[in-house]
Amino acid sequence: MTIADPEHPLYGISVAAQLTGMHPQSIRAYEDRGLLSPARTDGGTRRYSNGDIGRLHRIGGLLGDGLNLAGIEVVLALEAENQRLRAEIDALRGAPEDPAG
Amino acid sequence: MTIADPEHPLYGISVAAQLTGMHPQSIRAYEDRGLLSPARTDGGTRRYSNGDIGRLHRIGGLLGDGLNLAGIEVVLALEAENQRLRAEIDALRGAPEDPAG
DNA sequence: TGCACAATCACGCAGCGTGATGGTTT
DNA sequence: AAAACCATCACGCTGCGTGATTGTGC
Per-chain mean pLDDT for chain B: 93
Radius of gyration of chain B (CA): 16
State the pLDDT confidence band at A100, using cuts at 50, 70 and 90.
low
Q: Give one DSSP letter per residue of A49-97, joined into a string.
A: -HHHHHHHHHHHHHHHTT--HHHHHHHHHHHHHHHHHHHHHHHHTT--S
Mutate to test the interface with B, among A73, A79, A85 (most CBs of B within 10 A): A85
**Is residue A1 over pLDDT 80?**
no
Q: Which residue does chain B place closest to A81, by CA atoms?
A: B82
Work out the average pLDDT over A69-74.
98
- State the pLDDT at residue A72: 98
- State the pLDDT at residue B95: 63
State the pLDDT confidence band at A101, using cuts at 50, 70 and 90.
very low
Distance CA A21, CA A35 (A): 17
**Is residue B86 over pLDDT 90?**
yes
Distance CA B16, CA A17 (A): 46
Q: List chain C nucleotides near protein: any atom < 7 Å from a Cβ.
A: 4-9, 15-20, 24-26
Q: List chain D nucleotides near protein: any atom < 7 Å from a Cβ.
A: 4-9, 15-20, 24-26
State the pLDDT confidence band at B94, using cuts at 50, 70 and 90.
confident
**Is residue A95 over pLDDT 70?**
no
Pairing mode, if any, of strands A46-47 and A39-40?
Answer: antiparallel
Work out the average pLDDT over B28-38.
98
Q: Model pTM?
A: 0.91
> What count of other Cβ atoms lies within 10 Å of the Cβ of residue B73?
20
> What count of other Cβ atoms lies within 10 Å of the Cβ of residue A22?
19
| Residue B53 contacts residue B16 (beta carbons within 8 Å) | yes
**Is residue B1 over pLDDT 90?**
no
